[in-house]
């Protein structure tokens, strides 16, 4: 797989502690990861959260905690044996929960990117697993360091709603798949007018402007009573009111196997994830289908995938042109 300078298309080669092209342009390799990106950008909050909670969402199959594996295969419908020898592109890897799944459960080569400093956590978590099959970069979805038409499979899970231009993001993903290659995305769905009648959208105009440290402090100082309040509302049959609490939906989205301490850690992480991103752009499934078709992908599935009591809005397609 060629690695290219996304600004000019020139091939990048390793040269000391950087990648460089024949014109002398260089990209540093920092903490084992090539940085093909502006190091400070709109995803700084994700760098904060994934380096603080670097192992929170990683599977631990020794104790039956493998929600990431189940989610990955439920949403992609890929067979792990069929992926042997294929080149996969993962965009928006965070701390590497799905990178770990690919490396541990398939024999595919994985090219993974994230725009944030979360690549530090992913490198630490997953580079030892399969160093010959894992290639990690800090890069923007709009400036990916790979030629077009390069990958057998492309996936982007839990990310697209946090990019500044959803349509352009879908175009960028499809462009990197080979003709006949598969693309899978999930995203926050718009289910109706009530989607944005929610504490997240009420408070986000304020919270996304707070420093990450200040927001994290506020969440950690209040998380315990918020967890209790959500539990009480559901037990009283008033769960619909919980959407107005400034806390992630624990009741219907958290794995049931979590201990109380793990539930608290996930709650802090996911509540920070609700309120800190600069962008939060939920989409109607039919609109994402239109985007796929516009950029040359035949849609093979569009709807909700259900697994382990959870559901995710998913669109899958095959690149035709």
pLDDT mean over 31-38? 91
- Report the CATH superfamily, name and number, of domain 13-189+282-319: Vaccinia Virus protein VP39 (3.40.50.150)
- Residue 314: the pLDDT is 98
127-143 per-position pLDDT tens digit? 999 999 999 999 999 99
Q: Has residue 285 got a pLDDT over 70?
A: yes
Q: Has residue 118 got a pLDDT over 80?
A: yes
Do 35 and 180 contact (CB within 8 A), yes or no? Answer: no
Q: Has residue 63 got a pLDDT over 70?
A: no
More confident residue, 47 or 261: 261
- Residue 47: the pLDDT is 85
Confidence of residue 312 (pLDDT cuts 50, 70, 90): very high
| Cα distances (Å, whole numbers) of residue 253 to 83, 248, 267, 270, 297 | 29, 9, 11, 10, 31
Do 124 and 143 contact (CB within 8 A), yes or no? Answer: no
Token pair 């160093």 is at which residue?
131
Residue 95, both tokens = 């701390």
- Residue 87: the pLDDT is 98
Confidence (pTM): 0.94
Whole-number Å distance between alpha carbons of 111 and 124:
16
Locate the domains of the chain by residue range.
Answer: 13-189+282-319, 193-275
């Amino acid at each position: 797989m060629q690695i290219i300078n996304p600004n000019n298309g020139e091939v990048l080669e390793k040269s000391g502690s950087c990648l460089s092209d024949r014109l002398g342009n260089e990209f540093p390799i920092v903490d084992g990861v090539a940085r093909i990106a502006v190091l400070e950008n709109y995803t700084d909050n994700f760098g904060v959260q994934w380096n603080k909670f670097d192992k929170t969402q990683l599977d631990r199959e020794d104790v039956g905690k493998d929600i990431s594996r189940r989610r990955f295969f439920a949403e992609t419908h890929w067979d792990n044996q069929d992926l042997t020898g294929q080149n996969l592109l993962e965009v928006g890897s965070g701390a590497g929960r799905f990178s770990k799944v690919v490396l541990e459960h398939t024999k595919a080569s994985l090219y993974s990117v994230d725009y944030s400093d979360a690549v530090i956590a992913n490198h630490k978590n997953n580079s030892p697993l399969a160093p010959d099959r894992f290639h990690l970069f800090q890069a923007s979805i709009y400036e990916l360091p790979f030629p077009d038409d390069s990958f057998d499979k492309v996936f982007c899970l839990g990310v697209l709603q946090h990019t500044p231009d959803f349509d352009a993001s879908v175009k960028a993903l499809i462009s990197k798949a080979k003709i006949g290659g598969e693309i899978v995305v999930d995203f926050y769905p718009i289910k109706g007018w009530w989607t944005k009648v929610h504490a997240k959208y009420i408070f986000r105009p304020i919270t996304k402007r707070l420093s990450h440290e200040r927001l994290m402090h506020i969440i950690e100082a209040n998380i315990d009573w918020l967890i209790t309040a959500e539990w009480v509302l559901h037990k009283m049959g008033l769960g619909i009111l919980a959407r107005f609490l400034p806390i992630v939906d624990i009741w219907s989205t958290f794995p049931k196997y979590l201990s109380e301490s793990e539930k608290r850690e996930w709650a802090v992480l996911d509540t920070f994830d609700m309120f800190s991103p600069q962008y939060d752009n939920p989409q109607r499934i039919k609109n994402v289908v239109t985007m796929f078709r516009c950029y040359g992908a035949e849609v093979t599935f569009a709807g909700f995938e259900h697994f382990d009591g959870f559901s995710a809005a998913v669109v899958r397609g095959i690149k035709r042109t």
